[in-house]
Chains A and B, each alone.
Chain A
Amino acid sequence: MNSRLRWRKFVSNFMLTMTGVCAVVSVSVLFFILGYLVYHGGTSISWNFFTRLPVPVGETGGGMANAILGSAKLLLLATLIGVPIGFLGAIYLAEFSGGTTAFVVRYAADLLNGVPSIVIGIFAYALVVLPFKHFSTLSGGFALGLMMIPITLRSTEQFLRSVPNALREASMALGASKWRTIASVIVPAAYRGILTAILLAFARVAGETAPLLFTAFGNQFWSQGWNQPTASLPTMIYAYALSPYDDWHRQAWAGGLVLLGLILIINIVARAILSRGIAVPRT
């Protein structure tokens, strides 16, 4: 009996320790990734990386300036598409709609959120690239913007809903119309959450590669305009990592470090904004 109890206690301690090991292993992956990127990327990163164009194989010292600018342009377009639709759509869901319409919109957004990024790429290719007959920055921005919509929409809606009803009623009781209540009471009350939602959506699409392969395509030079293909950091890293040249591998590591650094910083900032407290105490 006693030995049985000892055995059970041993199993308990052993298994609980194992769960701790699982947690440590899982979290340590993050530090492995960071460590490798800093180690390999840090030695290859230089001022040239940010200011120079890629150079042909054999020459050394090129950079990814065009990819950095390309990514910035793509993300600007994505934000211009994703944020208004996500934000205003969320206002409709949280403040205006009832029952069926809201259900349909939410369902569509969740569906869109689950669509693999490569399928978003196919869609943007069929919808924007084929009719215009060439790859373009615009189509890439469209694909990324499409991915931003559901993330922004669903989280913004949740933050709007977490604003206490008392605030709405107080504003209406003072005679404000509904849209005024939304614009000057509800949205300001939820702005931290909304900002976090937008930043997280931005960070999520910043690293997307698959939808850009068929849309923004890639470019070894500066892009000639919004209607022309452009390089971007993720596709450049992809292409360089698969190339057989050591110098390009180093560039890929440097690009990876820059990209991951950017995404992690945005994530940390977004969470910091939120953890400073939701502006309104919940009632």
Chain B
Amino acid sequence: MATTTTTVPGAGPISGSRSFLSKLREGDEIARLFTFLFAASVVLLTVLLVYELWIGSSLPRHKFGFNFFRTSVWDPIFDQFGALPFIYGTTATAVVSLVIAVPLGIGAAIFLAELAPARLSDTLEFFIDLLAAVPSVIYGLLGVFIVIPLMRDYIQPALKKSLGFLPLFQGPTYGFGILTAGMVLAIMVIPYIISVSREVLLSVPRDQREAALSLGATRWESTWKVVVPFARGGIMGAIFLALARALGETIAVAMVIGNQPIIRASLFSSGYSIAAIIANELTEAVSNLHYQSLIELGLVLFLLTFILNGLARLLIVATSQRGAGMGNA
């Protein structure tokens, strides 16, 4: 074998190409290349998306620079664009939603992971998954016809009466506004917090609970002082995921926030979110600068969700691995 190859010049490449050919005949190389093209197109599309956002927003980036984020005048007629009201609206609604959704979501996740029998837990989780599948326009619809009247007639007057000394709960109560948008968002992100937190809590090793109980802790003490701290990272991850969802949510927010680019101390006041202004103005942009400013807002949204999602994934993976590692030990 070895002598043949040394006497025939060029045998190496020939035998090499023959094996390549035979592989080609069997189709493996073609299949590999074919599927690779599809996998590569995912990367290509993602890169293209970032590129379009970056290139598409070059005008306002150069013209306004960092002032884009510090000024609050949004005037398409005079080509003045400042993003502050939208950043405020997006942040304020997201904070309100987390204040409501985090305690509720984590409480429910603790119930599902620690207390409920497996069958009940799975059934409830099934409903939670369905809740996560409800499209945002449905939340918007219910927000407009159910939540807004409810807020206007009952909740906002009650808040004004009891907490009206705080600037947060002053001013006229129209029903729509930052607080209402935050509440609708809270309902939308709760399923995400519950699902992810439940997974993380379930990955906490059994020994942790048993050790706490055997030291005389009550059920709640073992849960709250041992299990939850163990899963803290993953629960933070769940909250970051929910935050990313809340920041990027468009339709439901646009339907209930009031769509006015103003910044007021009161949560009853109207506002405007980044996603909502893009939805309302992109197709009606009066100038190139206006259009590109909206794209820059899109870029901001993209970067925020990118960072939050990345952090969330790291935290969740780290926590479940920690659980798995200890469980095996």
In the complex, per-residue mask of B99-123: 1 if CB is within 8 Å of any chain A CB, else 0: 0000111111011101110000000
In the complex, per-residue mask of B24-36: 1 if CB is within 8 Å of any chain A CB, else 0: 0011101110111
B295 lies within 8 A of A33 (CB): no
Q: How far is the CA of A140 from the CA of B322 in the complex (A)?
A: 43
CB of A67 closer than 8 Å to a CB of B: no
In the complex, per-residue mask of A15-34: 1 if CB is within 8 Å of any chain B CB, else 0: 11011111101110110010
**9 residue pairs bridging A and B, Cβ less than 8 Å apart:** A12-B219, A84-B38, A112-B46, A118-B275, A119-B301, A121-B282, A207-B133, A213-B283, A260-B135
> What 10 additional pairs, Cβ within 8 angstroms, besides A22-B107, A92-B38?
A22-B110, A23-B112, A30-B134, A88-B38, A101-B39, A112-B49, A119-B301, A127-B48, A217-B283, A238-B140
Given contacts A105-B40, A119-B301, contact A88 B134 (CB under 8 A): no
Residue from the set B56, B130, B136, B255 with the largest chain A CB neighbour count within 10 Å: B130
A116 lies within 8 A of B301 (CB): yes
In the complex, per-residue mask of B60-103: 1 if CB is within 8 Å of any chain A CB, else 0: 00000000000000000000000000000000000000000001
Interface residues of A in 46-80 (CB under 8 A from B): none
CB of A249 closer than 8 Å to a CB of B: yes
CB of B145 closer than 8 Å to a CB of A: yes
Chain A residues closer than 8 Å to B49, beta-carbon distance: 112, 115, 119-120, 123
Checking B26, B40, B111, B248 against A22 with a beta-carbon cut-off of 8 angstroms, the contacting residue is: B111
Q: On chain B, which size bracket covers the interface?
A: 35 or more
Interface residues of B in 34-53 (CB under 8 A from A): 34-36, 38-43, 45-49, 52-53
Q: How far is the CA of A29 from the CA of B146 in the complex (A)?
A: 13
CB of A132 closer than 8 Å to a CB of B: no
Chain B residues closer than 8 Å to A19, beta-carbon distance: 107-108, 110-111, 114-115
> Separation in Å of the A246 CB from the closest CB of chain B?
11
Chain B residue with Cβ nearest A203:
B133
B141 lies within 8 A of A253 (CB): yes
CB of B131 closer than 8 Å to a CB of A: yes
CB of A237 closer than 8 Å to a CB of B: yes
Q: Using a Cβ–Cβ cut-off of 8 Å, how many residues does chain A contribute to the interface with B?
A: 88
Chain A residues closer than 8 Å to B114, beta-carbon distance: 19
Name B's A-contacting residues (CB within 8 A): 26-28, 30-32, 34-36, 38-43, 45-49, 52-53, 56, 103-108, 110-112, 114-116, 124, 126-131, 133-138, 140-142, 144-146, 187, 190-191, 194, 218-221, 223-224, 244, 247-251, 255, 275, 278-279, 282-283, 294-295, 298, 301-302, 305-306, 309, 313
Q: How far is the CA of A104 from the CA of B32 in the complex (A)?
A: 17
Given contacts A96-B36, A115-B302, contact A206 B135 (CB under 8 A): yes
Q: How far is the CA of A238 from the CA of B252 in the complex (A)?
A: 9
B52 lies within 8 A of A127 (CB): yes
In the complex, per-residue mask of A111-155: 1 if CB is within 8 Å of any chain B CB, else 0: 110111111111101110000000000000000001001100100
Q: How far is the CA of A36 from the CA of B27 in the complex (A)?
A: 56
Residue from the set B34, B48, B108, B126 with the largest chain A CB neighbour count within 10 Å: B108
Chain B residues closer than 8 Å to A242, beta-carbon distance: 144, 255
Given contacts A11-B218, A177-B26, A267-B129, contact A22 B39 (CB under 8 A): no
Number of A-B contacts (CB under 8 A): 267
Chain A residue with Cβ nearest B249:
A116
Chain A residues closer than 8 Å to B282, beta-carbon distance: 121-122, 125, 213-214
Chain A residues closer than 8 Å to B142, beta-carbon distance: 33, 36-37
Given contacts A27-B127, A267-B133, contact A241 B278 (CB under 8 A): no
- By secondary structure, the B interface counts as helix
Q: How far is the CA of A203 from the CA of B134 in the complex (A)?
A: 9
Chain A residues closer than 8 Å to B108, beta-carbon distance: 19, 22-23, 25-27
B218 lies within 8 A of A8 (CB): yes
B250 lies within 8 A of A118 (CB): yes
Checking A105, A118, A177, A179 against B298 with a beta-carbon cut-off of 8 angstroms, the contacting residue is: A118
Q: How far is the CA of A9 from the CA of B216 in the complex (A)?
A: 11
Chain B residues closer than 8 Å to A267, beta-carbon distance: 129-130, 133
Chain B residues closer than 8 Å to A203, beta-carbon distance: 133
- By secondary structure, the A interface counts as helix
> Separation in Å of the A1 CB from the closest CB of chain B?
12
A122 lies within 8 A of B137 (CB): no
A207 lies within 8 A of B138 (CB): yes
> Separation in Å of the A85 CB from the closest CB of chain B?
5
B283 lies within 8 A of A214 (CB): yes
Residue from the set A112, A118, A120, A121 with the largest chain B CB neighbour count within 10 Å: A118
Checking A25, A96, A114, A122 against B32 with a beta-carbon cut-off of 8 angstroms, the contacting residue is: A96
CB of A193 closer than 8 Å to a CB of B: no
CB of A170 closer than 8 Å to a CB of B: no
B137 lies within 8 A of A256 (CB): yes
Chain B residue with Cβ nearest A238:
B137
B190 lies within 8 A of A150 (CB): no
Q: How far is the CA of A178 from the CA of B144 in the complex (A)?
A: 55
> Separation in Å of the A80 CB from the closest CB of chain B?
13
Given contacts A119-B301, A238-B140, A271-B126, contact A29 B309 (CB under 8 A): no
Q: How far is the CA of A95 from the CA of B43 in the complex (A)?
A: 18
Checking A22, A36, A116 against B275 with a beta-carbon cut-off of 8 angstroms, the contacting residue is: A116
Given contacts A22-B108, A241-B144, A242-B255, contact A119 B34 (CB under 8 A): no
CB of A108 closer than 8 Å to a CB of B: yes
CB of A110 closer than 8 Å to a CB of B: yes
Chain B residues closer than 8 Å to A123, beta-carbon distance: 48-49, 52-53
Q: How far is the CA of A17 from the CA of B298 in the complex (A)?
A: 43
Chain A residues closer than 8 Å to B145, beta-carbon distance: 40, 241, 249, 253
